[in-house]
């Protein structure tokens, strides 16, 4: 039996977790994400990651479950996944020429521990033209991404700078997770 469970269906998270050469399987939870708007965004993202991991852990109590959630924060506003192409265009217009934060929360749950943490990375966009936004949205890449862009995909050409862990922006802070798993003797 595999020791770890990744409580995420994200192909990007799977790709990043594979970098750690861990024995794991993917089991996703259909928990309804509940956001407590009265707590700091860093706590929100850790809580959402915990909700996802806990949803899977309930039926896998003999395993270690990893949960993640990523939020894009621009000037105090959360930018989730776009609900439509027009929503994606509006998000990209907001991000154009500005700096925002990407926060990824992580939760590790087992029958002997429960730990949550986060990483926060600052990302700056170049100024985007309406045509660039139109072309990018027509590629469909932004449609299932928080903030309506993929830093590792076609959206990479819009990134002026990244200050922090690049992989946090992709949804899984590889180094921080590795350090935590090592400290918890789960590697």
Query: What distance in Å separates the CA atoms of residue 187 and residue 184, rounded to the nearest whole number?
Result: 8
Active site residues: 69
- Number of helical (H) and strand (E) elements in the chain, helices listed first: 6, 7
- Evaluated on CA atoms 47, 53, 56, 58, the torsion sign reads negative
Place of tokens 């009265």: 38
Per the CB < 8 A criterion, the answer to whether 113 and 184 are in contact is: yes
Per the CB < 8 A criterion, the answer to whether 44 and 36 are in contact is: yes
């Amino acid at each position: 039996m595999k020791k770890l469970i990744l409580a995420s269906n994200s192909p990007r998270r799977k790709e990043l977790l594979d970098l750690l050469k861990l024995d794991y399987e993917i089991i996703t939870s259909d928990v309804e994400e509940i956001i407590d708007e009265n707590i700091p965004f860093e706590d929100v993202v850790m809580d959402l990651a915990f909700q996802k991991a806990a949803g899977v852990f309930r039926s896998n109590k003999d395993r270690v479950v990893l949960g993640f959630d990523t939020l894009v924060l621009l000037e105090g506003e959360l930018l989730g996944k776009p609900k439509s192409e027009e929503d994606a265009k509006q998000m990209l217009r907001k991000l154009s020429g500005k700096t925002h934060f990407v926060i990824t929360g992580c939760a590790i749950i087992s029958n002997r521990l429960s730990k949550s943490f986060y990483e926060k990375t600052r990302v700056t966009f170049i100024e985007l033209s309406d045509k660039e936004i139109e072309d990018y949205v027509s590629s469909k890449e932004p449609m299932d991404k928080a903030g309506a862009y993929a830093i590792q995909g076609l959206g990479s050409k819009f990134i002026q700078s990244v200050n922090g862990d690049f992989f946090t922006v992709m949804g899984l802070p590889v180094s921080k997770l590795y350090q935590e798993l090592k400290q918890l003797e789960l590697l």
